[in-house]
Amino acid sequence: MGFLGLLAAFCITALLYASVGFGGGSTYSALLALWGMDYRLLPVVSLLCNLVVVIGGSMRFARAGITPWRGALALTAIAAPAALLGGLTPIGERAFLMLLGASLCVAGLALLLPKRGVAVGPAGGGRAMLFAAAPLGYLAGLVGIGGGIFLAPLLHLVRWDNPRAIAATASLFILVNSLFGLVGQLVKNGTGMLGAAAQTGLPLMIAVVIGGQIGSLFAVRLFKPQLIAWLTAALTIVVGARLLLGV
């Protein structure tokens, strides 16, 4: 895959993931690994791309009055310190790629799970999700993703809230986890990685800004959760499987 193909893949990924409140960091990381980027640098690039996608998405969800702030902030406050710890944890290249590929496949399959009826509000599964927030945050920081792609299927499973509220919660969760995970990665590998990532990833960040803004508009105005979930799951599983086959 050439660089123009990588740009197109990033734009499409951002569009699909932002449509369901995700940043796309897991798939960005896998695409960069398949492209041949240094595994120590790619989490930083992915997290920067995550941030530029979910900042816009989170703002749109908030302005539309969709974000359930009490529940979303509780989950995020528990996950963020764990994401920092995950970013600080040393990991070898093979283990990193295997964990990333397996995580993508599991997340893609989770997106295909049938959604149960909606509960009255976060109390429907809020207590159970508080226990899951820290492990999800740690995994997110470890492999350089936001963790929303793991959080959202669980929120649907426990009937936490309606699909739009879950998408908004996942977007905020990714935003904060990406920031804390990025700090952990930079402390672990040195702040010089930020300059290298920005130089290499600037065109990619522009591509995900375009795709992410289109996707977040779809989420707020033209939300078709089943179709978008299927497309996102297919992309996630295909990229994850390709990554695992190459390890």
C-alpha to C-alpha distance for 222 and 228, rounded to whole angstroms: 11
Q: Are 176 and 76 within 8 A, CB to CB?
A: yes
For the chain, the structural domain boundaries read: 43-246
207-236, pLDDT tens digit by residue?
Answer: 988 887 787 676 556 556 677 777 778 888
133-178, pLDDT tens digit by residue?
Answer: 999 999 999 988 888 888 888 888 888 888 788 888 988 999 999 9
Angle between helices 163-189 and 126-143 (to 10 degrees): 40
81-116, pLDDT tens digit by residue?
Answer: 999 999 999 999 999 999 989 988 988 888 787 665
How much is the pTM? 0.85
Output the pLDDT for position 220.
54
